[in-house]
Structures are given as C-alpha cells and as structure tokens.
Structure 1
Amino acid sequence: MKLRFTLALAVALLAACATPPEHAPEATPPAPAESAPTAGKSPEFKNSTLKYLAKRNLKPQPTRPLNVRSRCSHKDAIGTVTRLNLLVKEADVKAFDVQVSMKGRGACRFNAQDFKQDARLPQVLLRHKTQNDCTVRMWEQGKEVTIAFNSCPQACEGQAFQYLWPVIVDAKTGRCH
C-alpha cells in the first residue's frame, strides 16, 4: 500500500514537470468581410449605452465662432454667488470678469487682464499669463455657453477651487446659472 502511494506520487511529480508537446498553429479562417450598413437599417451595437444613443437623434454640434454677451449675477440653493461680465464676439474675448463666492469655502476670481487668448475654434481657450496650467475654456452647447476652469487654484482663496463648477450662461438671454 505504501509502495503504491509512493509510486503514484512519483508519477504525479513527473507528470507535473513534463512540458506539453508543441502543436502546429491552426490556420485561422479569414475574417468575414464587413458589409456597409444599409440605409434603412440601424447598426447593431453590443454596448447598451451605444444602443441607447443610437435611438436618439443626436447631431454634432456645429463648429462656429462663439458669440455671447452676459452681465449677470446668480445665487444658487447652497449659497454660491456667481458674478459674470462676459463679451465674446466672433470667438474673440473682449470682456471677461468672473467672481464665484462659495459660502464657507472662499472665492475665485478670474479677469481678462490675467489671461491671453490661445485659441478661438473649436473652443475659446484662455491661458493664464504666468501659470501655464491654468486655463479657461468656453464653448457653446445647444442654447447654453459653458465657461470651465482648469488647474487654477491660485485664482482662489484656500481650497475654494476644489469646489468650483463651470459657469453656464444662456446664450440668448445672457442669464447665468
């Protein structure tokens, strides 16, 4: 009995050390040619998000020069006060002054004199004159213009920049929210 167990153990160890024989790679069949989608048929998507988006009638946002004028003030439900003076004509920033005061967090201030305009299309891009990482982007999306701030903690008091959200402006009325 002891001999059989020892023999079985030896065979198992030898089998574990053995390398499998090399097989010749199997020939893979050529991939089927993808046919162009037919005009009346919607494409088939595997991802559920893409399936959802395919059912919506989404069209790309046109690339055109940004034109917006806003002189607004807004206070939200949690006490954040936004004051904005903005004038952009044909994607050229003429006036830009933003102050966002966050209750209990501090305030952030952005002014045109501290920035130089780096791009006009597809988005207006302002870059801080001394802090290259600090940028402000403006773009139109539907009926609204978004003003977003990136890597600009020096424009804010304390940790206020961590709580700063983009400013949204109604392109037609100039109201901000």
Structure 2
Amino acid sequence: MRKLAAPLAALMLAACGTKPPEPEPTVEVVPETEPAKEEKPVLSNSTLKYLANRKLKPQPTRPLNVKSRCSHTDEIGTRMRLDLLVKNAEVKTFAAQVTMKEHGACRFDLEDFEQVEKLPQPLLRHKRAGDCTVRMWEQGSHVTIAFNSCPSVCEGKAFDYLWPIIVDARNGRC
C-alpha cells in the first residue's frame, strides 16, 4: 500500500499545482442587416386615418392682429354686436353682446377681464368669475372668439346657446 501511496500523493500534488486552461474568448458575429425602412405609423383613430394623407400644415404662431366693429342678426333672431381691436396679441378693445331670442343675452366687456396670455393665443380671464375665459385665435383668414365657462356673464340660459364669434380678419365682418 505504501508503494501506491507515494505515486498517488505525487499525482495529487501535480494536479493541484497546474492551472486549468482558460477558455478562449468567443467572438459573436452579428450578421449585417439592411437599414430599417421608415414605416408610417399605424393610426387607430378613424379621424386620424382621414387626415393622414392630406397635406395639412400647422398654423404659424404669430401675434394676432385684428380689428372689427360689426353687428349681425341670423335667421332665428340671434343678434350679435362686436367691437374688437387686437394689436400684436394685446387686446386693446373688446365688447361683445349676443342676444338669443327667448333665452337672454350675454355681455362681455374688456373692463371685466384681464389678459393672462398673449401667445400662442390671447386669453382673457374674468376678474370675478375666475372660470370664465375668452380665447381668440387665427385660422386662415378668420379669427375665432370663443367663450368658456361664462354662465355668470349671461342672463337666464343664454350661455347654453352661445356659439363662438367668427370674424373675417381681412375686412372685419362677423
């Protein structure tokens, strides 16, 4: 047994003294791919599908300039009077009165409002009724004056029937 013990011990010591070979680093070859083609986004909303192929351009952001002094009565008897002057997005004059037959009237006067924004759109906020706002924006050759949350400025249920006022910026007509 002693004869076997000596070679076995030498073999064990030899095994401990040598390092195991390190594995060779492997280089992964990635196949070349073609550049990705631009794909049009998939539009899920049906409205966006109709707009996708049109050549629509964004409205430029520029200071609003409009002057109008007009009055208009429509077919159902709604009367509207407007006195408006906006220079470089600053509202200088604003007085609007819209009377809806059998529903009452809404009156807007610049004295009751403060201008809180100029760009991208002039925005007026009522001094006492904080939710009431008047926003003006240009769309092509027309300027829209829209009213939001202003029932306190109107009599009766007139605000429920109030539509935006549209002015032709070229000639000031309502």
Check conservation: 1:133, 1:152, Cα contact below 8 A.
yes
- Contact 1:72 1:174 (8 Å CA) reproduced: yes
Once superposed, what is the RMSD of the aligned Cα atoms? 1.7
Deviation at 1:57, TM superposition (A): 1.1
Provide, for residues 128-176 of structure 1, a one-character-per-residue CA deviation record: whole Å limited to 9, x for no partner.
Answer: 1111111100000111101011111111111111110100001111001
Q: 1:125: Cα distance to partner?
A: 0.3
Change in CA separation of 1:117 and 1:36 when aligned onto 2, cut-off 3 Å:
farther
Percent identity among equivalent residues? 68
Which residue of 143, 146, 149 corresponds with 1:145?
Answer: 143
Any gaps of 5 or more consecutive residues in structure 2?
Answer: 1-35
- Provide the C-alpha distance between the structure 2 equivalents of 1:153 and 1:165, rounded to a whole number of angstroms: 13
Q: Within 1, Cα distance between the matches of 2:46 and 2:74?
A: 35
Secondary structure in 1 matching 2:102: coil
What whole-Å deviation, never above 9, does each CA across 1:3-22 have from its counterpart, x for those lacking one? Answer: xxxxxxxxxxxxxxxxxxxx
Contact 1:137 1:148 in 2 (8 A): yes
Q: 1:175 to 1:36 in 2, by over 3 A?
A: farther
Indicate the structure (1 or 2) with the bigger Cα radius of gyration: 2
State how 1:1-177 maps to structure 2 within 5 Å: 35=36, 37=38, 44-176=42-174
What's the counterpart of residue 16 of structure 2? Answer: none
Whether the 8 Å contact between 1:37 and 1:43 is mirrored in structure 2 is no
CA distance in 2, matches of 1:65, 1:79: 34
SS at match of 1:126: strand
1:147–1:36 Cα change, 3 Å: farther
CA displacement 1:38-67 (0-9 Å, x = unmatched): 7xxx65544432221012111001110000
Number of corresponding residues: 140
TM-score (norm 1): 0.74
Q: Runs in 1 of length 4+ with deviation above 6 angstroms?
A: none
Q: Which amino acid aligns with 1:116?
A: E
Q: Could you list the runs of 5+ residues in structure 1 that have no partner in the other structure? A: 1-34
Report SS of the residue matched to 1:84. Answer: strand
Q: Secondary structure of 1:122's match?
A: coil
Query: Matches of 2:100 and 2:42 in 1, distance apart?
Result: 47
State the TM-score, normalized to the length of structure 2: 0.76
Letter in 1 for 2:38: P
Where 2:96 maps in the other structure, the secondary structure is strand
- Give the Cα separation in 2 of the matches to 1:37 and 1:106: 56
